[in-house]
């Protein structure tokens, strides 16, 4: 069974800093990994999806990497802004080559606060 862990649980940084959020997973046969943003009391917004064949995926100031061999993914946020304050979740499906998102396993999230 896939297990997903996120470190740190909370992070507070001053505006403008670059930061890295970590996600580790136990089943390296993962075929993709998805990063989400969640604002307090709200739903999830998909940020980036990395396929197993990719090592990186970029969207604006966000860059996500995937290292299957080590069971790790990172989300890099450049030049952080107060509007980036939210909880960031990573999620992976079970480790088979095909399947659906139905069995997404979520990490517990990293609560990010960017101070003005």
Residues that bind other proteins (CB under 8 A): 31-32, 34, 36, 41-46, 49, 51, 53, 89, 91, 93, 99-104, 106-109
CB of 103 to other proteins, least distance (A): 7
CB of 16 to other proteins, least distance (A): 29
Residue 101 CB contacts under 8 Å (≥ 6 apart), including other chains:
93
CB of 43 to other proteins, least distance (A): 4
- Rounded distance, CA 28 to CA 94, Å? 10
CA of residue 111 relative to chain centroid, distance: 12
């Amino acid at each position: 069974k896939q297990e997903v862990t996120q470190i740190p649980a909370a992070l507070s940084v001053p505006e403008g800093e670059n930061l890295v959020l970590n996600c580790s997973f136990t089943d390296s046969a993962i075929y993709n990994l998805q990063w989400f943003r969640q604002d307090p009391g709200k739903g999830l917004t998909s940020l980036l999806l990395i396929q197993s064949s990719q090592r990186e995926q970029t969207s604006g100031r966000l860059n996500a990497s995937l290292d299957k061999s080590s069971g790790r993914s990172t989300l890099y946020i450049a030049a952080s802004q107060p509007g980036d304050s939210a909880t960031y979740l990573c999620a992976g499906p079970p480790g088979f080559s095909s399947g659906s998102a139905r069995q997404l396993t979520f990490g517990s999230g990293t609560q990010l606060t960017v101070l003005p």
